[in-house]
Chain A
Amino acid sequence: MNTGRGFRIVRGVLLALFGVYFFLPLVSMANYSVRGKGPLEGEITFHYYAELVRNEDLRSAIISSLLLAVLTVVLMVVLLVPTMIWVRLRVPGVSRLVEFLCLLPLTVPPLVIVVGISNVYTRVNYLLGDSPHVLALAYVILVLPYSYRSIDSALRAIDVTTLAEAARSLGAGWLTVITRVVMPNIVSGVLGAAFIAIALVLGEYVFASLLHYDTMPVALAAIYKSETSTAIAGAFASIVLISLLLLALSYFNRHKSTDLAGVSE
């Protein structure tokens, strides 16, 4: 019933409409970023992509954004994965509380968090120095809801208790259980969480801008007035990069789960 001919036609038309709505802006960004302006008028050029690396300020902002993404992912994994495994194994009673706390940042607008956190950050700057990397501490909180969901569903798919008990009875310590037994089984969930975290960090503007740190979105917005094409090239490049990462992950996932289920394609 679902795939009758009429339905197929309607589906095709609707999907095409959605495709136009979502891809037209992306195509226009791509088009704008390779179209030469000023002295390069009328040419197709990758000059503005090269400019992303050549421009001193922009390069340092991109590097600090990438570092920030790595730091956020590492902090998130180190904090969240052992906590969630521990809660699942030893204190299942607080799992509701942990879920609530992890989903809380979703309901509070970033602007409100920033106003509240700015006082804390004067203290953080005093202790850790004034580099953009300290933003990772705030970003970990922002990515919590997404990471929690992703890791939680991965944990739900495996039998953590049996795995942990088997490992413990063979003499493994808790650290071994977490890093060498459970982690390899939920690696796809952790990767999903990591990529969403990277997307969030590379796109986040409010925090960085209001706390006066130069990350990539802030730098792109700053140069937008004078070098529009370069700014748009940067934004487009980051969207494409993360989309490809996520797409690759969806294939990786598929192989992983068919292996686990013991069914070949």
Chain B
Amino acid sequence: MIIGAFQDGETGGFTMGNIEALRSPAALDTLRKSVLLAGSTALLGGVLGAVLSYLIVSLGERSVLRRATLSLAGVLAQFGGVTPAFARISLLGFSGLLTEALGGWVYGSGWLYGLNGLIVVYTYFQVPLMVIVFTPAIEGLRPQLREAAVNLGATPCSTGGWSGSRCSRRRSSGRCCCCSPTCVRGLRHGRRPGQPGATRSSRC
């Protein structure tokens, strides 16, 4: 790859032409759009994913809804590509469900086929990916943190937002805790002794 990047396509000699070509307006514009897309979907996915995983963790371990969410998140996070595109087409395409329900203006305005539309589709697999990353981290949070914060007058909202983010950041930045309920279970095993009991009492 490195050799190919500096090779002239026709003569095979050394050239910087390929690198120069990257500075063309078209290339720069696509790069700008990609960065914009990556940044906005990362932000949206991160925030929404954190909220959703906090919600499903608060449902308790045996909740069917929580299992279903985690399974679906595992699948949707892997199916980036063809499938979300099909989902968008069947929902908002020319004869899509929402287009027919709301009338033609959704499709007609065309905003879905620009950057905004892509952001909507990308969050469709970014949020599940973030749920998979965050859930083990939030499950591993020490419940004492929340109890302490609540004692000091914090609302559930600020507890989750402030102390939660400080702890889960450490875990989610260092490594990607991924995949499936299995991992979630495993990480739960890895917690410090004495914690599971405390969890139960604080949940009631």
Contact = CB atoms under 8 A, between A and B. Distances in A.
B83 A250 contact: no
Interface stretch (A18-26, A121-129, A161-169, A170-178): A18-26
Contact of A116 (B1, B48, B71): B1
A196 B91 contact: no
A238 B83 contact: yes
Interface stretch (B19-27, B111-119, B162-170, B179-187): B179-187
Contact of B190 (A22, A157, A232): A157
A24 B80 CA distance: 17
Interface string B168-202: 00000001111111110111011000000000001
Given A2-B203, A157-B189, A243-B71, A220 B182 contact: no
B203 A153 contact: no
B180 A14 contact: no
A180 to B, nearest CB: 21
B75 A246 contact: yes
A193 B182 contact: yes
B72 interface: yes
Nearest to B82: A217
A31 B65 CA distance: 23
B83 A196 contact: no
Interface in B85-141: 86-91, 95-98, 124, 128
A130 B187 CA distance: 42
Contact of B55 (A15, A157, A206, A232): A15
Interface residues of A, number: 67
B52 interface: yes
B182 A191 contact: yes
Contacts of B95: 32
Contact of A239 (B70, B75, B156): B75
A72 interface: no
B185 A257 contact: yes
B186 A24 contact: no
A236 to B, nearest CB: 8
Given A192-B180, A220-B82, A247 B185 contact: no
Nearest to A198: B78
B75 A243 contact: yes
A33 B89 CA distance: 12
Given A2-B58, A146-B178, A246-B180, 5 more contacts: A7-B58, A15-B65, A25-B91, A192-B183, A247-B68
Interface of A: 1-4, 7, 11, 14-15, 18, 21-22, 24-29, 31-33, 99, 103, 106, 115-116, 145-146, 149-150, 152-154, 156-157, 188-189, 191-193, 195-196, 199-200, 203-206, 217, 220-221, 224, 228, 231-232, 235-236, 238-239, 242-243, 246-247, 249-251, 253, 257
5 closest A-B pairs by CB: A153-B186, A192-B182, A28-B97, A25-B87, A246-B71
